[in-house]
Amino acid sequence: MLIFFYAANSCALASHIALEHTGVDYEARRVDFSKGEQKSAAFLAVNPKGRVPALVTSQGVLTETPAILAYICQTYPNAALAPLHDPFAFAQVQSFNSYLCSTVHVAHAHRYRGYRWADEPEAIAAMVRKVPDSMRECFALIEKDLFVGPWVRGDSYTVCDMYLFTICRWLEGDGVDIREFPVLAAHFGRMLQNKIVQRVLSRQND
């Protein structure tokens, strides 16, 4: 059985939603960051990075959201969570998810984890102040150039929607009102109405 490690309010939500969509049996294990469980010897044995998500499979452990999402799509093709039949379209899914991972998530991380990039308090404070502008710039690009509609990649609901929804949940804390982006705000509302999304959110908040 798959074992999925997650933390509440983290990017692991996207993979959690995708797993639930497949209908596959899996065990979800919460890693409590407030207790420092991500630094425990038990969890570091699973993922030496000390981060979530992590997915334990029969072949080994997978980490990083884009990789886990791609694995879920390809392992459970009947769930139809990505256009696997079209290499270019699947690469577009990967491109979007990679942008969320490598650029948008990093912009968000400057609010909490500036110590990864600087030691001086002044530099870290400057990074925190920059977060609203950085996130606003990222989401303006997504709304204008990357979002096809009504779902991220057009008519088909994919893992891109799950990942975008996950990061949209951080916007308010990052000082950005999602209503500045009406297309993305409407998408966020549709995701909140999804029964599987609701079920995963409820489980993560228990």
- Indicate the pTM of the whole model: 0.97
Q: Are 31 and 40 in contact (CB under 8 A)?
A: no
The pLDDT value given to residue 52: 98
Residue 97: other Cβ atoms inside 10 A = 25
Q: Are 12 and 52 in contact (CB under 8 A)?
A: yes
36 exposed, middle or buried (CB, 10 Å; 0-12, 13-18, 19+)? exposed
List the CATH code of the domain at 87-194: 1.20.1050.10
The pLDDT value given to residue 205: 85
Element (H, E) at 113: none
The pLDDT value given to residue 132: 98
The pLDDT value given to residue 206: 76
CATH class of the domain whose range is 2-80+199-205: alpha beta
Residue with tokens 């998500």: 53
Distance CA 40, CA 156 (A): 40
The pLDDT value given to residue 131: 98
Residue 80: other Cβ atoms inside 10 A = 14
- Residue boundaries of the structural domains of the chain: 2-80+199-205, 87-194
DSSP string covering 40-102: SHHHHHH-TT--S-EEEETTEEEESHHHHHHHHHHH-GGG--S-TT-HHHHHHHHHHHHHIII
One digit per residue, the tens of pLDDT, for the chain of length 206 reads 999 999 999 999 999 999 999 999 999 999 999 999 999 999 999 999 999 999 999 999 999 999 999 999 999 999 999 999 999 999 999 999 999 999 999 999 999 999 999 999 999 999 999 999 999 999 999 999 999 999 999 999 999 999 999 999 999 999 999 999 999 999 999 999 999 999 999 999 87
